[in-house]
Amino acid sequence: MTKRIPAVCVQPIDKDGVKDWICAKSAEFGFSDCGFLSVHYPLFVKQTKALKAWLDQGLNGTLDFMHENHDKRANPALLVDGAKTIITVRMDYLHDLPKPCSVMDNTRPNHAIIARYARGRDYHKTVRQQLKKLAKAIENELPQWQHLSIGADKPFVFRPFSDSAPIFERPIADAAGLGWTGKHTLLINRQAGSFF
C-alpha cells in the first residue's frame, strides 16, 4: 500500500512580499533599514542640475571628480545594464555608547579624539561585503519569483556601492524613506539619529 503525502498549498508571493523578504534578509546581514527606488525616479535629474549649479559657483574646491559622470548621476541605469530598482540600506555604526572623552586644551598636541564613524572596521568594506551577501541571497531566491517576471528576461546583475560610484546616495535614501535630510546635510532617522 502506498502512503499518500498531502499536498501543501503555498500562496505565491507578490511584489510587496518580495520587498518584505528583501528587507527581512537585509536585517539578517546587519542592515537596520531597507528601501527601494526606481532608477527612473525624478530626483536624479533634479540633483544633477543642482550639482552643476554648485560646480558653476566653484564650491567643489579640489574635488575635481565632481565634474565627471553627470550622465550616470542623472541616469543610474547606466551604472548597471538593465537596472530597474535601487535597493538602499542603512547600517548603524554606533551600537554601544563609547566612554565620554575630550581634549581639554592645546597643551597635548598629539592627543585627539577619533570620530565615532571612523572607529572600528572601514564601513566601506563592511557595507559592500554585506551588500554582496544580500545580492547573492536575492539571486538564489529568484526562481521562487518567476511568476512575477523578476529577473526572468536577463541574467541577474548587481553592483554594490558604498561611496564608490557617481550616485546620489543620501537623496536616494531620503526618497526611499530611510530618513530625511537635516540642516547639517546628513540623513536623519527618528530612531538612529545620524549614526549610520
SS (H, E, C) the chain: CCCCCCCCCCCCCCHHHHHHHHHHHHHHCCCCEEEEEECCCCHHHHHHHHHHHHHHCCCCCCCHHHHCCHHHHHCHHHCCCCCCEEEEEECCCCCCCCCCCCCCCCCCCCCCCCCHHHCCCCHHHHHHHHHHHHHHHHHHHHHHHHHHCCCCCCCCCCCCCCCCCCCCHHHHHHHCCCCEECCCCCEEECCCECCC
Cell of 36: 527601494
Catalytic option among 20, 71, 122, 163:
163
Residue 163 a catalytic site member:
yes
Between the two ends of the chain, the Cα-to-Cα distance in Å is 61
List residues with catalytic annotation: 163
